[in-house]
A and B are shown apart, each in its own frame.
Chain A
């Protein structure tokens, strides 16, 4: 029987592996025919698995406007990701999806000045939407990116940031690292304080992504600056199994992060129990 069920993955192949940092690699994935394995909208995720090792949900890092392949930036933390960090080009993997709502690129973000704030691996889901907005540049206003990492060696896809983002019209990139470092003449300090220091115009729509503590403190600064929680979006991370709102794993209040999220605005989150 040739069955069709979203829980049954298909096979794709890793065609390139880029080492971003000591613990983050970016994997390029093609279908077995050399095409793009699936279509997505920025912020959506896919389930990747190596049979016998595990299956987990990862944000699709590449922009939907990339017609050739999809990419995942993956941090080493746990069984499956450690395995993925050991594979070589040509390794086949199982994939299913895309899942989730994605960013409202054709809704709330359209026509707005955008402020992206990321910490560490939190850039992975934002890279997709940032590059989407760059592709449809005239649909969006000024783009600011505030991005913090532990050190200058911990930025995900530093080359793209330096060679493309920094040169893009109407786009400003503000990088910061946690501690002073040789050969770094940029900003030093944590993201929340940096955001306060930069003091953005409160007409911007904000997309915030990173470790929970960074999100919490940055949100506080943004509210102090006068932003409304309706203007600020984030992506949630929960343990997931099915990806389609059935296994119960990622249930928070009456929402399922896999299906109703992972993208939420903070006014939506305010209505949910604080269990994420």
Chain B
């Protein structure tokens, strides 16, 4: 079932949603688009995607775990966690929505990460179909359909009108809660929009890029001579990992406030030299080894453990952010055994 706003402006719709729960959506800033809480006067960004990915909602850069008080030989564990209130995220693109499914496989598997799970449960994700995909997009390489981005509710803007299709129970509940703003829509409009987007995607420069199934070639791929050349200029800055919607490595640290100790986790990067450093040794001494780890993980190890699902969703962020123009596309062309070389 698809619905359409009953002639009201987008901002009226946002105001209504935000009157009930916190609403986050991409807005324009000096540094590009980013997700912010909607308040009166904020408008939806017209950019295709946010600079940082939407993973921050569920896996924020810094997450408090627990606090401690130490007194003499005694330790007290203080759990100050508060319940996460329900919230709505509007405007998540297909790649980031697919990245949630990748992160779910990590954080919601055995020893469920409750910090991630509680945020995931509290969120209603409204995706937005990509009317204007960019040259750096290659989500289709991983079977992701930007014309049908998924989430709890799938939204699309067709000639400035907002269409909403609920896909999950949460999505149904959301639509129900704003039913008075909606009229039912003509499915033909939706189908036509999908076809239009698909045609655009097919013409993108990276459309023919297809990852190879390397699940039974772990060692062979690891030992490939191409890594040395591919990784040559990598600075180990970690930018590619921070903007990546699927990168999930983290560190756990303690901060001593003087009165108590706060234990938190924060994003880390397999690109950093101290990532695997131990007292006596480091199994990955050099940057080329660390570079290889990042891409082996996304293209080989992750699919091996996850029914062939890749650890990349083709969002193109690392293509834009790497200061020395390295990225997963270059790797896939050499290592990923691209089937249809352009």
Contact = CB atoms under 8 A, between A and B. Distances in A.
- Tell me the dominant secondary structure on chain B's binding face: mixed
A212 B222 CA distance: 22
B73 A90 contact: yes
A105 interface: no
A139 interface: no
Interface in A234-254: 237-239, 241-242, 244-249, 251-254
Interface stretch (A47-55, A61-69, A160-168, A202-210): A47-55
B258 to A, nearest CB: 10
A contact patch SS:
loop
B218 to A, nearest CB: 6
B256 interface: yes
Interface string B209-220: 000000000110
B113 interface: yes
A254 to B, nearest CB: 4
Contact of B254 (A52, A249, A276): A52
Interface in B92-135: 106-107, 109-111, 113-115
A272 B277 CA distance: 19
A37 B334 CA distance: 51
Give the contact-size bracket for chain A.
35 or more
B242 to A, nearest CB: 14
A259 to B, nearest CB: 8
A107 interface: no
Interface residues of B, number: 53
Interface of A: 1-11, 49-55, 77-78, 87-88, 90-94, 212, 237-239, 241-242, 244-249, 251-254, 271-273, 275-276
Given A78-B279, A212-B281, A3 B79 contact: yes
Interface in B290-306: 293, 296-297, 300-301, 304-305
Interface string B304-316: 1100000000000
B225 to A, nearest CB: 15
20 contacts: A1-B82, A5-B65, A7-B115, A11-B76, A52-B70, A52-B261, A78-B279, A94-B68, A212-B281, A238-B278, A239-B278, A241-B251, A246-B113, A246-B250, A247-B249, A247-B250, A248-B248, A251-B293, A254-B218, A275-B283
Contact of B113 (A5, A49, A87, A276): A5
